[in-house]
Amino acid sequence: MNNPTIQELIDRYVSVSFRVHKKAESLIKGQIGDELTNDQHYILRYISQSEECTSSELAEAFEVNKSAITAIINRMAERGLIERTRDQNDRRVIYLTLTDAGKTLYQTCQEKIEQLVESIISQFDEVEIKNFINTYEKLASILDNKKKEEMEE
């Protein structure tokens, strides 16, 4: 590829990536309303899928400082959405699980988000959406590898 073409593709990628990310976040926020922030929703989702985890796992998964996770977890625990449980063998380890209220709120928000996503992806035919998801997964893998390379340097 020649340089003007590469620059044009870079510009298109940056532009569409920004638009999609911002609009998707806004639409998701519209579905979950004032109940949760998007970050809190992602944390509920992560804990729901893993059933239990630690703050360190969350910090690593979301690529943020542990202090940022701790602040979010504290607010969610105060609201009764997340429960902390100390490991019986190592009292320094604290496991995070969803309370019944956390599970209910997560499920309610998840159903709304699934309806939103379904309304979007139903505008594509099956081949288009599968190709898109495959390409997006490939991009995620490439970015993961790039991040590993950076950390090894």
What are the pLDDT tens digits along the chain (153 aa)?
Answer: 566 788 899 999 999 999 999 999 999 999 888 889 989 999 999 999 998 999 999 999 998 999 999 999 999 999 999 999 998 888 889 999 999 999 999 999 999 999 999 999 999 999 999 999 999 999 999 998 998 888 887
**Residue 128 and residue 78 in contact, taking contact as beta carbons nearer than 8 Å:** no
Name the 3-class secondary structure at 81: coil
Q: Which CATH class is domain 8-122?
A: mainly alpha
* Helices and strands in the chain, H and E counts: 6, 2
State how far the Cα of 97 lies from the Cα of 44, in Å rounded to an integer.
9
Q: Where are the domains of the chain?
A: 8-122
pTM recorded for the entire structure: 0.82
